[in-house]
């Protein structure tokens, strides 16, 4: 993580973060075991995720991670590069635009980088919209671009 920028601020200063960039996080592998567990938990057993033979015949040529699995890996990666301290509660309030421009082959590594796109005051705290890009190691096209809406209460 040598080229990483970590953004940390106390909850009282969240209002000053708009426009600030952070990341990238360290690389995190999304292995076939992760894909298989996600498929079992969600019931999404599309062959491009779990069947090596069927996936080999797909446009991807191999098994790929679910887009929603890739999206969910945000928590450990975001913790590395963005944090708000002193909040009594922090929650994911929602997601805005989410796209999956490129597949993540099982076993590939991803990381995130982002920017604080918008900050607004809400009753009892702050709402921050983080514009995140999920990079796939060795691929110019991102695996995912999404806006996460987070709330921090003091």
Question: Domains in the chain and their CATH numbers?
Answer: 7-29+66-153 (3.10.129.10)
| C-alpha to C-alpha distance for 96 and 98, rounded to whole angstroms | 6
Model's pTM, two decimal places?
Answer: 0.93
Confidence of residue 3 (pLDDT cuts 50, 70, 90): low
How does pLDDT run across 107-140, given as a tens digit for each residue?
Answer: 999 999 999 999 999 999 999 999 999 999 999 9
- Other beta carbons within 10 Å of 102: 18
Tokens 């999304």 belong to residue: 30
For residues 150 and 93, the answer to whether their CB atoms sit within 8 Å is yes
Mean pLDDT score across all residues of the chain? 96
């Amino acid at each position: 993580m040598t080229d990483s920028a970590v953004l940390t601020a106390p909850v009282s200063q969240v209002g000053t973060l708009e426009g600030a960039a952070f990341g990238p996080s360290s690389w995190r592998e999304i292995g076939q075991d992760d894909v298989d567990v996600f498929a079992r938990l969600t019931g999404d057993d599309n062959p491009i995720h779990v069947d090596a033979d069927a996936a080999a015949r797909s446009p991807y040529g191999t098994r790929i991670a679910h887009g929603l699995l890739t999206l969910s890996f945000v928590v450990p990666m975001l913790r590395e590069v963005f944090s708000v301290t002193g909040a009594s509660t922090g929650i994911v309030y929602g997601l805005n635009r989410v796209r999956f421009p490129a597949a993540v082959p099982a076993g590939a590594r991803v990381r995130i980088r982002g920017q604080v796109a918008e900050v607004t005051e809400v009753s009892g705290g702050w709402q921050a919209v983080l514009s995140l890009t999920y990079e796939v190691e060795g691929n110019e096209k991102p695996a995912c671009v999404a806006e996460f809406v987070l709330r921090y209460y003091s």
